[in-house]
Amino acid sequence: MQTIFLTSYIAGTGQKFADFMQNNKINSKRVLFIPTAGNVEGYTKYIDEGKSVLTQLGLKLDLLDIATADIHQCHTAFSAAEIICITGGNTFYLLQELKRKNLDRLLAQRIAEGCVYIGESAGAIILAADIEYNKIMDDSSLAPELNNYTGLNCIDFYPLPHYIDEPFVQSARQTYAEYSKRLNLVTFNNSQAIIVINHNYVVV
């Protein structure tokens, strides 16, 4: 069973996430919180804002940077988690680090098993079958060890976050113009979320 909450900006969708938790009777309070995608970003205030929103909702965050943690620690944490949250940042770097620690397949498996997943921006995009379409918005050169763009393939659409919000107005529009005829792009802005329950999705 899939229980997925995708957002462009956790801090902009706090109430929607609270409703998502209530509507799906999610009682777990511990969240494995992974800010790794922000490691190569100059601006990361959104990560702290996301932490603040989640803690205000009564959740306890266990922080894990998969880039610096060893494989055993990562696999143990992913296997035990009831809720996994991956924040925004560089999508290509994030996928590189997931693959480097052999976490991409494990994460897809955990989501399929019913682990609640919160994906913010890059954390949403990695669930698609392929992340190449995000090259306009993110710099793929920040992931020099990533040799393919195959995503987790947990969803049958391609999330396009920050549509159309600053500072991504131009890149979001350009991505949509270039890929919308080839891919099932689902756009959402910084105050919207995509909820996926067992492969059925709705934008709220």
**Mean pLDDT rounded to a whole number for the chain:** 98
**Sign for the pseudo-dihedral over CA of 130, 132, 134, 138:** positive
pTM listed for this prediction? 0.97
Assign residue 18 the CATH number of its domain.
3.40.50.880
**pLDDT tens for each residue of 136-163:** 999 999 999 999 999 999 999 999 999 9
190-195-45-36 Cα dihedral, nearest 10 degrees = -140
- pLDDT confidence of 166, banded at 50, 70, 90? confident
What's residue 149's pLDDT? 99
Q: How far apart are CA 110 and CA 80, in angstroms?
A: 9
Report percent pLDDT > 90 for the chain: 98
Q: Hey, what amino acid is at 28?
A: S
Distance CA 96, CA 144 (A): 8
Query: How far is it, in rounded angstroms, from Cα 119 to Cα 51?
Result: 13
Q: How far apart are CA 195 and CA 117, in angstroms?
A: 10
The domain total for the chain is 1
Residue 130 is part of which domain span?
3-203
82-101 average pLDDT score: 99
Q: Count Cα neighbours of 131 within 13 Å in the Cβ-side half-sphere.
A: 28
Q: How confident is the model at residue 165 (pLDDT cuts 50, 70, 90)?
A: confident
CA gap 197, 177 in Å, rounded: 28
pLDDT of residue 111 exceeding 90, the answer is yes
Residues catalogued as catalytic: 121, 162
**Which contiguous run of DSSP H or E holds residue 125?**
helix 122-125
